[in-house]
Amino acid sequence: MEAMVFIHAQQPLSHEDRKTPVPGPAQVLVEVSACAVCRTDLHVVDGELKDPKLPLIPGHEIVGRVRASGPGANHFYKGERIGIPWLGWTCGVCRYCQAGMENLCDTARFTGYTIDGGYAEYTVADERFCFRIMRPWIVFEPESSKAQQSWSAIRKFALQPTADTLPNRKASVDAISTICQPGRCRN
Protein backbone atom coordinates (compact mmCIF):
# COMPACT_ATOMS: atom_id res chain seq x y z
CA MET A 1 0.00 0.00 0.00
CA GLU A 2 1.02 3.61 -0.39
CA ALA A 3 1.75 5.53 2.79
CA MET A 4 3.10 8.88 3.85
CA VAL A 5 5.71 8.35 6.52
CA PHE A 6 7.16 10.67 9.13
CA ILE A 7 10.86 10.05 9.67
CA HIS A 8 12.52 13.33 10.62
CA ALA A 9 10.98 16.34 12.36
CA GLN A 10 10.36 19.39 10.20
CA GLN A 11 11.02 17.42 7.01
CA PRO A 12 8.47 16.44 4.35
CA LEU A 13 6.74 13.12 4.84
CA SER A 14 8.21 10.27 2.82
CA HIS A 15 6.00 8.60 0.19
CA GLU A 16 6.57 4.87 0.64
CA ASP A 17 5.31 1.50 -0.49
CA ARG A 18 4.41 -0.44 2.63
CA LYS A 19 3.10 -3.92 3.25
CA THR A 20 -0.61 -3.75 4.01
CA PRO A 21 -0.93 -4.37 7.75
CA VAL A 22 -2.56 -7.52 9.07
CA PRO A 23 -5.11 -7.02 11.86
CA GLY A 24 -4.05 -8.54 15.17
CA PRO A 25 -6.30 -9.61 18.04
CA ALA A 26 -9.21 -7.16 18.54
CA GLN A 27 -8.09 -5.17 15.51
CA VAL A 28 -9.78 -4.33 12.24
CA LEU A 29 -8.14 -3.63 8.90
CA VAL A 30 -9.61 -0.42 7.50
CA GLU A 31 -9.36 0.93 3.97
CA VAL A 32 -8.93 4.64 4.52
CA SER A 33 -11.47 6.86 2.74
CA ALA A 34 -10.26 10.12 4.25
CA CYS A 35 -7.92 11.29 6.95
CA ALA A 36 -7.94 14.91 8.03
CA VAL A 37 -5.01 17.04 9.11
CA CYS A 38 -5.33 18.16 12.71
CA ARG A 39 -3.15 20.71 14.46
CA THR A 40 -1.85 17.84 16.59
CA ASP A 41 -0.49 16.18 13.45
CA LEU A 42 1.48 19.33 12.80
CA HIS A 43 2.82 19.25 16.35
CA VAL A 44 3.95 15.67 15.73
CA VAL A 45 5.74 16.33 12.45
CA ASP A 46 7.28 19.52 13.82
CA GLY A 47 8.83 17.42 16.57
CA GLU A 48 6.91 19.19 19.33
CA LEU A 49 5.46 16.02 20.85
CA LYS A 50 8.02 13.76 22.47
CA ASP A 51 8.75 10.15 21.66
CA PRO A 52 6.65 9.50 18.58
CA LYS A 53 6.83 6.05 17.03
CA LEU A 54 9.46 6.25 14.29
CA PRO A 55 9.08 5.80 11.44
CA LEU A 56 5.44 6.79 11.79
CA ILE A 57 2.37 7.01 9.56
CA PRO A 58 0.65 10.12 10.99
CA GLY A 59 -3.04 10.98 10.90
CA HIS A 60 -5.67 10.36 13.54
CA GLU A 61 -8.95 11.65 12.10
CA ILE A 62 -9.77 8.67 9.96
CA VAL A 63 -12.88 7.52 8.12
CA GLY A 64 -12.78 4.24 6.27
CA ARG A 65 -14.37 0.90 5.62
CA VAL A 66 -13.64 -2.34 7.42
CA ARG A 67 -11.99 -4.85 5.10
CA ALA A 68 -10.96 -7.57 7.57
CA SER A 69 -11.12 -8.40 11.25
CA GLY A 70 -8.44 -9.95 13.43
CA PRO A 71 -8.94 -12.72 16.00
CA GLY A 72 -11.72 -11.86 18.42
CA ALA A 73 -12.74 -8.69 16.57
CA ASN A 74 -16.46 -8.84 15.90
CA HIS A 75 -17.93 -5.39 16.52
CA PHE A 76 -18.02 -4.40 12.85
CA TYR A 77 -18.99 -6.11 9.64
CA LYS A 78 -16.97 -6.17 6.46
CA GLY A 79 -17.59 -3.03 4.44
CA GLU A 80 -18.93 -1.06 7.42
CA ARG A 81 -17.95 2.60 7.58
CA ILE A 82 -16.17 3.43 10.81
CA GLY A 83 -14.13 6.18 12.37
CA ILE A 84 -10.74 5.76 14.01
CA PRO A 85 -9.86 8.39 16.62
CA TRP A 86 -6.76 9.77 18.31
CA LEU A 87 -7.11 7.45 21.28
CA GLY A 88 -5.99 4.06 20.01
CA TRP A 89 -5.39 1.92 23.08
CA THR A 90 -5.56 2.17 26.89
CA CYS A 91 -4.56 -0.10 29.75
CA GLY A 92 -8.05 -0.66 31.13
CA VAL A 93 -6.85 -0.94 34.73
CA CYS A 94 -5.53 2.45 35.85
CA ARG A 95 -7.66 4.85 37.89
CA TYR A 96 -8.59 6.85 34.83
CA CYS A 97 -9.59 3.80 32.82
CA GLN A 98 -11.55 2.46 35.76
CA ALA A 99 -13.35 5.77 36.09
CA GLY A 100 -14.34 5.86 32.42
CA MET A 101 -11.81 8.58 31.65
CA GLU A 102 -9.52 6.38 29.62
CA ASN A 103 -8.52 9.32 27.43
CA LEU A 104 -6.35 10.35 30.40
CA CYS A 105 -4.72 6.91 30.79
CA ASP A 106 -1.01 7.34 31.51
CA THR A 107 -0.05 4.48 29.21
CA ALA A 108 -2.50 5.29 26.42
CA ARG A 109 -1.41 4.87 22.81
CA PHE A 110 -2.40 7.37 20.19
CA THR A 111 -3.24 6.98 16.52
CA GLY A 112 -0.77 8.73 14.28
CA TYR A 113 1.61 9.38 17.18
CA THR A 114 2.59 6.25 19.08
CA ILE A 115 0.83 3.88 16.65
CA ASP A 116 0.53 4.20 12.89
CA GLY A 117 -2.33 6.32 11.62
CA GLY A 118 -4.29 7.11 8.51
CA TYR A 119 -2.07 8.74 5.93
CA ALA A 120 -2.06 5.46 4.04
CA GLU A 121 -4.36 3.32 1.96
CA TYR A 122 -4.96 0.97 4.88
CA THR A 123 -4.52 1.01 8.61
CA VAL A 124 -5.30 -1.29 11.50
CA ALA A 125 -6.99 -0.19 14.69
CA ASP A 126 -8.20 -1.68 17.94
CA GLU A 127 -11.92 -2.00 17.31
CA ARG A 128 -12.76 -1.10 20.91
CA PHE A 129 -11.70 2.46 20.15
CA CYS A 130 -13.41 2.72 16.77
CA PHE A 131 -17.02 3.63 16.19
CA ARG A 132 -19.62 3.26 13.52
CA ILE A 133 -20.43 6.32 11.53
CA MET A 134 -24.19 6.25 11.63
CA ARG A 135 -26.26 7.68 8.84
CA PRO A 136 -26.79 11.15 10.39
CA TRP A 137 -23.06 11.60 10.64
CA ILE A 138 -22.61 11.13 6.93
CA VAL A 139 -24.03 14.61 6.33
CA PHE A 140 -20.94 16.00 7.98
CA GLU A 141 -18.54 14.55 5.45
CA PRO A 142 -15.89 15.57 4.71
CA GLU A 143 -16.13 17.38 8.03
CA SER A 144 -16.86 14.02 9.63
CA SER A 145 -13.16 13.61 10.21
CA LYS A 146 -13.74 15.57 13.35
CA ALA A 147 -16.37 13.09 14.38
CA GLN A 148 -13.64 10.59 15.19
CA GLN A 149 -12.74 12.69 18.16
CA SER A 150 -16.31 12.60 19.37
CA TRP A 151 -16.43 9.16 20.84
CA SER A 152 -15.49 10.02 24.39
CA ALA A 153 -17.57 13.18 24.18
CA ILE A 154 -20.63 11.28 23.06
CA ARG A 155 -20.19 8.76 25.80
CA LYS A 156 -19.49 11.46 28.35
CA PHE A 157 -22.70 13.26 27.55
CA ALA A 158 -24.64 10.03 26.96
CA LEU A 159 -25.84 11.24 23.62
CA GLN A 160 -27.27 9.11 20.88
CA PRO A 161 -26.79 10.94 17.60
CA THR A 162 -29.78 9.70 15.65
CA ALA A 163 -31.69 11.36 12.84
CA ASP A 164 -34.73 12.09 14.96
CA THR A 165 -32.89 13.64 17.88
CA LEU A 166 -31.64 16.82 16.34
CA PRO A 167 -31.05 18.66 19.62
CA ASN A 168 -28.88 15.80 20.79
CA ARG A 169 -27.10 15.75 17.48
CA LYS A 170 -26.37 19.45 17.70
CA ALA A 171 -25.12 18.98 21.24
CA SER A 172 -22.92 16.18 19.99
CA VAL A 173 -21.40 18.41 17.39
CA ASP A 174 -20.85 21.11 19.98
CA ALA A 175 -19.16 18.52 22.15
CA ILE A 176 -17.03 17.42 19.22
CA SER A 177 -15.89 20.93 18.54
CA THR A 178 -14.47 21.09 22.04
CA ILE A 179 -12.57 17.87 21.58
CA CYS A 180 -10.11 18.49 18.83
CA GLN A 181 -8.76 21.93 19.49
CA PRO A 182 -5.12 22.56 18.64
CA GLY A 183 -2.86 20.38 20.72
CA ARG A 184 -5.69 19.28 22.96
CA CYS A 185 -6.79 16.03 21.48
CA ARG A 186 -6.62 14.29 24.84
CA ASN A 187 -9.53 16.35 26.07
Binding stretches for Zn ion (CB under 5 A): 38, 40, 90-91, 94, 97, 105, 180, 185
Nearer to Zn ion, 23 or 59 (CB): 59
Per-residue CA distances from 104 to 92, 185, 186 (Å): 11, 11, 7
Nearer to Zn ion, 73 or 179 (CB): 179
Return the beta strands (E) in the chain as ranges.
Answer: 2-5, 14-17, 27-35, 62-69, 81-84, 87-89, 109-110, 122-126, 131-132
Alpha carbon distance 60, 112 (integer Å): 5
Q: How far is the CB of 77 from Zn ion (least distance, A)?
A: 27
Q: How far is the CB of 99 from Zn ion (least distance, A)?
A: 10
Dihedral angle at the C-alpha atoms of 99, 102, 108, 114, nearest 10 degrees?
-170
Q: How far is the CB of 182 from Zn ion (least distance, A)?
A: 9
Q: How far is the CB of 110 from Zn ion (least distance, A)?
A: 10
Nearer to Zn ion, 78 or 95 (CB): 95
Nearer to Zn ion, 34 or 94 (CB): 94
Alpha carbon distance 29, 95 (integer Å): 30
Alpha carbon distance 138, 126 (integer Å): 22
Nearer to Zn ion, 69 or 150 (CB): 150
Q: How far is the CB of 38 from Zn ion (least distance, A)?
A: 3
